[in-house]
Amino acid sequence: MIDKEQLGNLFNEAGKIANKAYSPYSKFRVGAALLCEDGTVITGVNVENRSFGLTVCAERNAIFAAVTKGHLRFKAIAISTPDSPEPVGPCGACRQVMGEFMPAECSVIFGGSNSEQVITTVGELLPFDSLHELRK
Ligand code: THU
């Protein structure tokens, strides 16, 4: 398990990278920071497209970048949405992708620009997840 201070640090990383978001259409920046089992932190931002449906969320960009670098085991993910005061939870597609790579007990922290952050787990965000046995 990962403690609150580590989660706070990861959240700060997500907040810093959110400035790199490419979001000229929504003007809504999202940054994600993924803590790999070996301690490496891989970040991602939302990347939009003028063909709106091609947009990829920050969480998925972080997870896919990590997998590309050879990481398959993760401890936690932080998501920062600085253009919203309140926390904004990850979308359904990102929850599904988290469920592919992150065990149910993995920590998730998300928050906006106010001081309130939500700390939860992948299992709480994606209850009744199934089909893990397909990977065995
Ligand atoms: N977005 C994310 O990056 N992650 C989420 O979980 C929710 C939404 C992005 C997609 C789009 O670029 C912008 O936020 C507005 O929906």
Q: From the first residue on, what is the mean pLDDT of each consecutive set of 10 residues in the chain (136 residues)? A: 93 98 98 98 98 98 98 97 98 97 96 97 93 67
Q: Which helix (H) or strand (E) holds 75?
A: strand 74-80
For the CA atoms of 22, 23, 24, 27, the dihedral, rounded to the nearest 10 degrees, stands at: -140
Catalytic residue among 59, 86, 105, 124: 59
Note the pLDDT of residue 131: 67
Angle at 82 between CA 77 and CA 86, to 5 degrees: 85
3-state secondary structure of 15: helix
86 is annotated as an active-site residue: no
| Any ligand 1 atom below 6 A from CB of 35 | no
pTM over the 0.75 mark: yes
Note the pLDDT of residue 36: 98
Distance 136 CA to ligand 1 centre (A): 31
For residue 58, the ligand 1 atom closest to its alpha carbon is 3
